[in-house]
Amino acid sequence: MRSSTLPVAAALFLLVSMAGLGLLRHLRRTRAVLHSPIVAILRFDNETGDPSLDRFSDTLTDDVITRLAASGAEKYKIIGNSEVLRVPREQRNLTDIATALHANYVILGQVQTVGSGTRVLAHLIRMPDQTHVWVVRRESARSDVRDAESAAAAAIAEEFSLRIVPTQPSGS
């Protein structure tokens, strides 16, 4: 009786061990996916009063989305073209947006007039407490709109990608 029990116990032990290792691998992969932060990028607002800068604001928004998506592929996820992100500023509710998109961060941007030039401000905000994590400010001459857009988007993506951190697991 004893000699037949040993192979059965060994097989059972091996089966349970393999199942445990498989479960552990699955949990590690799932944990990495669940805790990659989601960043929602709202349409940058043209606060200059000059409708000719609407296209600049939209292109700047798209460039920031593209650069952050490329630089954070393994670190975080970007949502940039959801309809809720394109609503006018006075209709936005950051808490509702973050909740709807499950976003851990939102990025707000503004294009402003400063003297004869243009200023771009971008705010990285942690949700749900709406804490400002970082702000990027870039100023340029009005004549350099194309170069200003590219330089501002590069600076925003570089600065923010360093500050977007994985979320803590629930209960930690």
Other Cβ atoms closer than 10 A to 170: 7
Which distant-in-sequence residues (6+ apart) come within 8 Å of 56 by Cβ? 46, 111, 118, 145, 148, 149
Q: What is the largest CA-CA distance in the chain?
A: 95
Instruction: Read off the DSSP letter of residue 48.
Output: S
pLDDT of the residue at 10: 74
Range of the domain at 14: 1-35
* 33-57 pLDDT, tens digit each: 557 899 999 999 999 999 999 999 9
| Average confidence (pLDDT) over 60-73 | 93
* Mean pLDDT, residues 70-80 taken together: 90
pLDDT tens-place string over residues 95-114: 999 999 999 999 999 999 99
Helices (H), the chain: 2-34, 54-71, 94-101, 145-161
Q: Do 59 and 30 belong together in one domain?
A: no
Query: Does the global pTM surpass 0.85?
Result: no
11/62 same-domain check:
no
Q: Describe the chain by its helix, strand, coil percentages, rounded to 5.
A: 50, 25, 25
Same domain, 108 and 157: yes
For residue 57, is it within any domain? yes
Residue 88 counted as domain residue: yes
Indicate if 10 and 49 belong to the same structural domain.
no
Is the pLDDT at 172 greater than 50, yes or no? no
CATH number of the CATH domain containing 61: 3.40.50.10070
pLDDT tier at 30 (50, 70, 90 boundaries)?
Answer: low
Residue 169 lies in a domain: no
Phi-psi region of 130 (alpha: psi -120 to 50; beta: other; left: phi over 0): left
How much is the mean pLDDT over the chain? 87
Both tokens assigned to 149: 């857009």
